[in-house]
Chain A
Amino acid sequence: MKRYGLTLTGALAAVTLALTAIFGILITPPDVTQKEYARFLYLHPPMAWVAYLAFGVAALSSILYLWPRTRRAYFDHLALAAVESGVLFTGLVLVTGSMWAEPVWGTYWVWDARLTATALMFVMFLGYLALRRMGGTTEQIARRAAIVALISSINVPLVHFSVLWWNTLHQGPSVLTPGLSSQGVHGAMAWTMLLSFVAFTSLFVWMVGRRIRLEQLRSGVGNDALNDAIAARLAEGDVVEVSA
């Protein structure tokens, strides 16, 4: 993505997030049952959507990295950037979910299929990030990470469909239902929710774009430093170059 495109995405994220906050707090009405607690609707589901999107992007870019014909460092950087954002948003989903659950359900946490699968997804992608720091060559790290990303991304449909496949305390989906119909978020609440999805999605795109740029700069600095070190060692004179 061109730099000005990323700047525009960042601006879009800032404006839509601000509008979501204004509409979500000041303009939308309280829900008939949940009253003011329903305002979590503009925070928790869009964050969950971004987590799904992030891990989906990570899985796709990992496939493209593992496929020899499409293997490029860019796809590894994209997967890393997406997973980092995905882990952040999954963490926020767990926190906002607990904050929402306590007054509405009457408990911060239950071990139902949705919550357990989400926690599992969070921990597995944390494992992905830890694995990347285990050492090895850049290619080894990227290949191992791509495999782990693919295995971990199996969790994404499990998390989403868990509320349809099993009896869970967590409610069914308000959007992204099998028939792609909203089950009943009404009026201004629905529009604000849609706005929040645009806001968090553009925030995610901006974060990933910035993170990829950082990773590219880092690997560029790394390569330059390595080349400098090799050149300095060769200049010392008693080193014989060995071709592979």
Chain B
Amino acid sequence: MTSEVAQPRLAKRHRLRNVSALLVICGAVMFLLVEGISGSLNFYESVGEALHHRSELKESTFRLEGVVLPGSIVATNKGASFTLVEGNKRIDVVNTGTPPQLFQGNIPVVVSGHFTSERGNHFVSNQILVKHSSSYVAAHPDRVKAKDGTVR
């Protein structure tokens, strides 16, 4: 004689929990794909690219990357102004807000903002992100330890 065996409650609950977990993960994958694609694969336009696409960019908001021209940083009431360069191309930036700790001359940064007019090369931004290189050099390569243990 055979009779149908009811599925244990515990197994059903486990299955429900696992299906829910999988649905959450699928949702997370979709979210990441949408975020990634809508943010575009290229995170920024370099100074050269921005000037090349100048007529299309107009006053739209985008991220701009370039090296901070040494000596160009001037503190302002609301933040700092400086010049970004790529080769012999340059764009003047006025930023509002506190720059990151490592912000300094001769370092690549990404600023988020827009050109102030349809044709000019003046850019206003409200965020500075430092884009450091993959090069790591000792801060004091010539520093030596004396016999008495002090560092010179």
Contact = CB atoms under 8 A, between A and B. Distances in A.
Interface of A: 29-35, 38, 41, 103-107, 110-113, 116-117, 119-120, 123-124, 126-127, 130-131, 133-135, 165-169, 171-174, 183-189
A131 B22 contact: yes
B99 A106 contact: yes
A109 B113 CA distance: 18
A171 B133 contact: yes
A134 B29 contact: no
A127 B137 contact: no
Given A31-B138, A111-B39, A104 B102 contact: yes
Contacts of A166: 41-43
Contacts of A184: 133-137
Contacts, number: 140
B41 to A, nearest CB: 4
Contact of B135 (A30, A131, A183): A183
Nearest to B133: A171
Task: Tell me which of A34, A167, A173, A187 has the highest count of chain B C-beta atoms within 10 A of its own C-beta.
Answer: A167
Given A117-B36, A169-B44, A104 B137 contact: no
Contact of B138 (A173, A174, A189): A189
A167 B134 contact: no
A107 B129 contact: yes
A186 B136 contact: yes
B interface, how many residues as a size bin?
Answer: 35 or more
Contacts of B75: none
Nearest to A118: B32
Contacts of A134: 15, 18-19, 22
Contacts of B14: 133, 135
Contact of A174 (B43, B100, B110, B134): B134
B135 A105 contact: no
Nearest to A238: B1
29 contacts: A31-B136, A32-B137, A33-B132, A38-B136, A105-B129, A106-B101, A107-B127, A111-B35, A111-B36, A111-B39, A112-B39, A113-B41, A116-B36, A116-B39, A119-B32, A120-B33, A123-B29, A123-B32, A127-B22, A130-B22, A134-B22, A167-B42, A167-B44, A167-B65, A174-B136, A184-B137, A185-B135, A186-B141, A187-B141
Given A120-B36, A130-B22, A187-B141, A106 B134 contact: no
Contacts of B135: 183-185
Nearest to A126: B25
Interface in B36-69: 36, 39, 41-46, 65
Name the 7 nearest CB pairs between A and B, nearest first: A106-B100, A184-B135, A116-B36, A29-B138, A112-B43, A111-B39, A167-B42
